[in-house]
Amino acid sequence: MCHGQVDSAACFRPLVKLLPRNYYYIAMELPGNGKSDPVPPGLMMSAYEILYAIKTVVDHFRWDSFIYIAHSLGTLLGKL
């Protein structure tokens, strides 16, 4: 799950309660948002740098396929 800009993974808590229980759900924090480390002052992150963070999660869990749930900026990133 991927949240929008200036949001956090916590925004998905109400949704997860409604989803089937026979799946695992992971909501990541985009760089500089939620409980992730702040982005250094003056550093501008492009969509591609944020996509790299998403790819890092996918690679870490060694997913060959997954369902991507998102909103706002997270949706845009999922389309790239």
Residues annotated as catalytic (active site), given as ranges: 72
2 strand-pairing partners: 28, 70
70 strand-pairing partners: 2
What does the H/E/C string look like for 48-74?
Answer: HHHHHHHHHHHHHHCCCCCCCCECCHH
